[in-house]
Structure 1
Amino acid sequence: MRSAGISFAKSLACFSLLLTVITTQTALAEDETPRIISADLGTTQVLQALNLQDAIIAVDVTSVRQPELRGLPSIGYHRQLSPEGLLSIKADALVGAADMGPETAINALEKTGVQIIQQESPKTIDTLIENVRTLSTEFNHKEDGEKLINIIEEMRTTLANTSVKQKTAIFLLDMGGHGGANGSMAGQGTGGDAFLNLLGLENMAKFPAYREASRESLIALNPDVIVLASGGRPSKGPKLEDSEVIALTRAAKEKNIMGMNASTLVAGLSVAAMDEAIRVKTTLAKK
């Protein structure tokens, strides 16, 4: 009986030790930094805001513009991903927009056990918040997620509490910096349309997607405000105000041609885009 008791005690001690080891390993696994491929700039910016920058091991071409990420491997354009390239990176997760692909590349990665997270490119603040919450939950950074959501809500309140007298607007995308009537005008459902919604202005372009802004359309629409989106962050649209066509619009006559950084809308609404909207709307409110 005594020897049996000793044997039981030893077994219990061994079990306790094993349980401790398993618990410790589980805790380490939960705290382990994931290896994440970020397939669009919006996702990258959210991951950075969630203090997950060190987890990013590869990015798409839009995210490479970030100075702190230029040394990372590039996976190219998010709609033309290479299965071989993705597999060689040995990631734990691939995160990007719902339209990243092709499907064969996504499926190949998923079959190896890599987690695939595809999110809608946000056109509203609510969708942006939903994306933040999803990523903060998936990567166990809920506290950082709530902090970021609080910041977004504060920015939403600032925009809502800033009143402007202007009512109508158009959004011109001019990445080439040439201005004039050659820019692409943002129609319904675009990032430019979402930006005008942040400003509380009616987008006068009622067509879908982007279209080249013709002389006739600019004169006919005659908006209160023209937002010129370019690669930098000009305080006003370079060369656009000098256009004879633009000079005929109400926006030009009232000096309501506003510049903004187009890169903040590459993947839909972002915190940076909201910051731009606050800057533009605050300027308009003073007029």
Structure 2
Amino acid sequence: MKVLIQRCLWVLLLGSAWSMAAEPLRVVTAGASVTAIVQELGLGEQLVGIDSTSVPLMADRGLPNVGYQRALSAEGVLSLKPDVLLGTEEMGPPPVLAQLRDAGVDVVVLSASPDLDTLYANIEAVGARFAHVEQATALNQRIQADIAALPAMSEPAPPALFVLTHSANGMMVAGAGTVGDSLIRLGGMSNPAAESFSQYRVLSAEALLSLAPQWILTTSKGLEMVGGTDGLLSQQPALAATPAGQAQQVVDIEDSLLVGGFSPHIAPALRQLRETAAGE
């Protein structure tokens, strides 16, 4: 009888351990591109909170919003009892991340480098962390196939500028090393601003005119905030005087594709840009 009781207790304990191991992790994501990776890997049901840039992607879920990825609150995140906070090096501030780690949250930081190789590496990293390796491999193969099927880049590549219109500092132009610059180049265009500076910068009217872009790229949200193409050009006379402005050649890109590095949904946006560059 004693042996039987011990065996029953062992089975109960083992069953409890299996149950605990099978319990899905509670995940909070910071950065729309990271949230998109989680969705594409079939992990969306494990999300218990998202940052503000991810809200449009998860509108049907009504998940708690923990704020902007660069200005997270430890209290807000911890109130959701997450096991994992998943974001990129753009999330912060650092003291909040340290506080979350001290509270036992696994803070996973991915690269925000704006290139396709980083996107593939981030997908692999998320797949490995959540035991979805096969799904990650399949997702990467699908994205790579979509990229390979894009139209060839135009020659010569038309000059384009990527501008941010919802900055507190005024209109910012993307230089080298930015998501905007990578988007221009992968979209079959050239970025004359990248030859002069890196990151984002406010330019004088004279400097803006000297770049002579044929196309202006911006975010969908930013363009909406200024009243569309007409509003953008009326607020930015120097931009309106460029070849792109005179021809009203403005292309908007969905914001969620560009927050936290590239999104797994980047291929359709690149197709649109390459077709635009080719005049299709």
TM-score (norm 1): 0.79
Which range moves more in the overlay, 73-82 or 50-59? 73-82
Instruction: State the AA in 1 paired with 2:119.
Output: L
Paired with 1:85 and 1:189, the residues of 2 have a C-alpha distance of 32
Structure 1: runs of 5+ lacking an equivalent:
1-5, 177-181
In structure 2, the residue matched to 1:278 is 271
Quick one: structure 1 residues 251 and 108, their matched pair in 2 at CA, closer, same or farther if it must change by over 3 Å?
closer
In structure 2, the residue matched to 1:110 is 101
Aligned partners of 1:195 and 1:273 also within 8 Å: no
In structure 1, the residue matched to 2:180 is 192
Quick one: structure 1 residues 153 and 17, their matched pair in 2 at CA, closer, same or farther if it must change by over 3 Å?
farther
Aligned partners of 1:94 and 1:115 also within 8 Å: yes
Paired with 1:174 and 1:33, the residues of 2 have a C-alpha distance of 40
Determine whether 1:54 maps to 2:45. yes
Paired with 2:77 and 2:241, the residues of 1 have a C-alpha distance of 51
Which range moves more in the overlay, 184-193 or 79-88? 79-88
Q: CA deviation at 1:244?
A: 6.5
In structure 1, the residue matched to 2:199 is 209
Aligned partners of 1:95 and 1:118 also within 8 Å: yes
The CA RMSD measured in Å over matched residues stands at 3.2
Paired with 2:199 and 2:222, the residues of 1 have a C-alpha distance of 22
What are the Cα deviations for residues 149-193 of structure 1, in whole angstroms up to 9, with x where unaligned? 11221132133x5231342322122349xxxxx732111111111
SS in 2 for 1:207: coil
Q: CA deviation at 1:85?
A: 2.5
Indicate which of 253, 259, 263 corresponds to 1:260. Answer: 253
Paired with 2:85 and 2:190, the residues of 1 have a C-alpha distance of 37
Paired with 1:74 and 1:248, the residues of 2 have a C-alpha distance of 40
SS in 1 for 2:79: helix
Aligned partners of 1:256 and 1:284 also within 8 Å: no
Aligned partners of 1:195 and 1:269 also within 8 Å: no
Task: State, as a whole percentage, how many aligned pairs show the same letter.
Answer: 30
Paired with 1:170 and 1:131, the residues of 2 have a C-alpha distance of 27
Q: CA deviation at 1:251?
A: 4.0
Instruction: State the AA in 2 paired with 1:171.
Output: F
In structure 2, the residue matched to 1:72 is 63
In structure 1, the residue matched to 2:145 is 154
Map of 1:155-170 to 2, 5 A cutoff? Answer: 155-159=146-150, 161-167=151-157, 168-170=159-161
SS in 2 for 1:96: strand
What are the Cα deviations for residues 252-283 of structure 1, in whole angstroms up to 9, with x where unaligned? 57775433223421222112333211112123
In structure 2, the residue matched to 1:179 is none
SS in 2 for 1:90: coil
SS in 2 for 1:89: coil
Instruction: State the AA in 2 paired with 1:217.
Output: A
Aligned partners of 1:164 and 1:285 also within 8 Å: yes
Quick one: structure 1 residues 39 and 163, their matched pair in 2 at CA, closer, same or farther if it must change by over 3 Å?
closer
Tell which structure's C-alpha radius of gyration is larger. Answer: 1
Aligned partners of 2:164 and 2:222 also within 8 Å: no
What are the Cα deviations for residues 228-262 of structure 1, in whole angstroms up to 9, with x where unaligned? 3331899xx71257776556544457775433223
Map of 1:96-135 to 2, 5 A cutoff? Answer: 96-135=87-126
Quick one: structure 1 residues 248 and 108, their matched pair in 2 at CA, closer, same or farther if it must change by over 3 Å?
closer
Equivalent residue pairs, number: 270
TM-score (norm 2): 0.81
Quick one: structure 1 residues 65 and 28, their matched pair in 2 at CA, closer, same or farther if it must change by over 3 Å?
same
Paired with 1:94 and 1:113, the residues of 2 have a C-alpha distance of 11
In structure 2, the residue matched to 1:221 is 211
Aligned partners of 1:232 and 1:260 also within 8 Å: no
In structure 1, the residue matched to 2:163 is 172
In structure 2, the residue matched to 1:230 is 220
Paired with 1:101 and 1:227, the residues of 2 have a C-alpha distance of 28
Instruction: State the AA in 2 paired with 1:116.
Output: V
Paired with 2:149 and 2:171, the residues of 1 have a C-alpha distance of 30
Quick one: structure 1 residues 115 and 220, their matched pair in 2 at CA, closer, same or farther if it must change by over 3 Å?
same
Quick one: structure 1 residues 99 and 264, their matched pair in 2 at CA, closer, same or farther if it must change by over 3 Å?
closer
Instruction: State the AA in 1 paired with 2:192.
Output: M
Paired with 1:124 and 1:142, the residues of 2 have a C-alpha distance of 21
Q: CA deviation at 1:112?
A: 3.1
